[in-house]
Amino acid sequence: MPSFDLFLSKPGSPISYNFYPAIKQSPLLPKFLIVFINGLELSTAGWFRSINLLRYSGFPVPAVLTYDRFGQGHSSSRDPLDVTDLHELLITIPSSRLNVSKAEFETGKVPLLLVGHSIGGPIIRLYVEYHPGLVAGAVILDSSIANVDYSDSLPNPDTADFDPESVTAQDCTLEQYRKASNDLVKIFDLKVKNTEFLDRTTGPEVLPYDDKLKLVGVGGEGPWLSIVGHDPVTYAEDDFEKMGTPKSMSMKFSNAYWAKYNQGLTKITNGLADIFALQQEAPQ
């Protein structure tokens, strides 16, 4: 894979990225750039199969950029990459790879299509909010829930109004629910540390709503937006196999909570928005 190191404004902290030139792109069309944004503690390797399918499809394909945030993959420095650093990366790559000046990029000369998984979803929202007019579209894959703790989606068995029947099922006793809840919170709550040193506790402050603020894309219009949720049955099965989480618990709480969040995300653009693989029992 074509891998390069780029030093931004942080001396001694190179960022690793892969750049794939456009294929069969008409010189009469804008120089689009697809940017893949990794999930938490993941690397660019997770995108290679999708990129290969895209590039060998036989159709024209824009240029593609992937990168490892600090603490991911080949970017070994432990210096958290924020939205400002992402913008610095994006204004540097087009000038060196697409023959577009930084000034031209800043005016939307290179429309961006951002594809983000997990924490990549909130990163996309913040990038578009801080840098309006540059993004033509975004694909958000199984977004992290940025505005609340994971524990907020689970009934607290220690509160006075807790109803045990609301959580128990044929595959889930109250004791199993308590253990599974504690295990999930220890992994997914916003305060849990990660190897990237990304501080997720600021999520409720910088992205307090799932359905606001409206994003502003190229030409002042809302960007095209596609929200993709996980398959609910597969998610429940995976959680059971990996962590022992009762399937009924995943279906009743996690999947329903994510479905509501994903539906909210479709409202953050005035442009075309669609949603795929919507979780079961989603609110209407």
Phi and psi, residue 6, nearest 5° = -130, 130
| Sheet of strand 135-141, all strands in order from the earlier edge strand to the far edge | 3-7, 14-20, 63-68, 33-37, 112-117, 135-141, 224-228, 273-276
Q: How confident is the model at residue 284 (pLDDT cuts 50, 70, 90)?
A: very low
**Looking at 31-35, 95-99, 210-214, 228-232, which range is the least confident one?**
95-99
The residue whose two tokens read 């109803």 is 163
* Sequence-separated (6 or more) residues with CB below 8 Å from residue 160: none
- For residue 283, is it within any domain? no
Cβ atoms of 111 and 135 closer than 8 Å: yes
User: Does residue 34 sit within a domain?
Assistant: yes
> Measured between alpha carbons, how far is 160 from 163 in angstroms, rounded to an integer?
9
pLDDT digits (tens, 9 = 90+) for 70-116: 666 566 665 555 566 788 888 888 778 888 888 889 999 899 999 99
Q: Give Cα 241 to chain centroid, integer Å.
A: 24
Please state the rounded mean pLDDT for residues 265-282. 74
Average pLDDT over residues 235-248: 95
Examine residue 282 and state whether it is found in any structural domain, yes or no.
no
- In this predicted model, what pLDDT tens digit does every residue of 117-161 receive, in sequence order? 999 999 999 999 999 999 999 999 999 999 999 899 899 999 999
pLDDT bin (cut points 50, 70, 90) of residue 27 is confident
* Sequence-separated (6 or more) residues with CB below 8 Å from residue 209: 147, 264
Per-residue confidence band for 12, with pLDDT thresholds at 50, 70 and 90: low
Mean pLDDT confidence for 253-258: 92
| 281 lies in some domain | no
Count of domains forming the chain = 1
**Please, are residues 124 and 161 in contact by the beta-carbon 8 Å criterion?**
no
As a whole number of angstroms, the distance between CA 244 and CA 94 comes to 46
Residue-wise DSSP of 218-281: GGGSPPEEEEEPPPHHHHHHHHHHHH---HHHIIIIIHHHHHHHHHHHTTS-SS-EEEESPPTT
Q: Is the pLDDT of residue 280 over 60?
A: no
Domain range for 191: 3-276
The tokens of 70 are what?
């600090």
Q: How far is the C-alpha of 93 from the C-alpha of 171, rounded, in Å?
A: 52
pLDDT at residue number 183 = 94
Q: Is residue 62 part of a domain?
A: yes
CATH number, domain containing residue 18: 3.40.50
How many angstroms separate the first and last alpha carbons of the chain?
44
Residue 245, token pair as written in the block:
């989480």
Cβ atoms 146, 203 nearer than 8 A: yes
- Cross-strand bridge partners of residue 116: 37, 140
Average pLDDT of 232-245? Answer: 94
Mean pLDDT, rounded, for 240-263: 94
Within-domain flag for 18: yes
What does the pLDDT average to over 221-243? 94
Q: What's the full length of the chain, in residues?
A: 284
pLDDT given at position 279 = 47
Calculate the average pLDDT of the chain. Answer: 87
**Could you tell me if residue 177 is inside a domain?**
yes
pLDDT bucket at 40, cuts 50 / 70 / 90: confident
Give the number of other Cβ atoms within 10 Å of residue 172's Cβ.
18
Q: Model pTM?
A: 0.89
- Angle of the 232-243 helix axis to the 255-265 helix axis, nearest 10: 130
Residue 170 covered by a domain: yes
Split at pLDDT 50, 70, 90, the class of 252 is very high
Residues 26-47 have a mean pLDDT of 88
Which position has the higher pLDDT, 194 or 119? 119
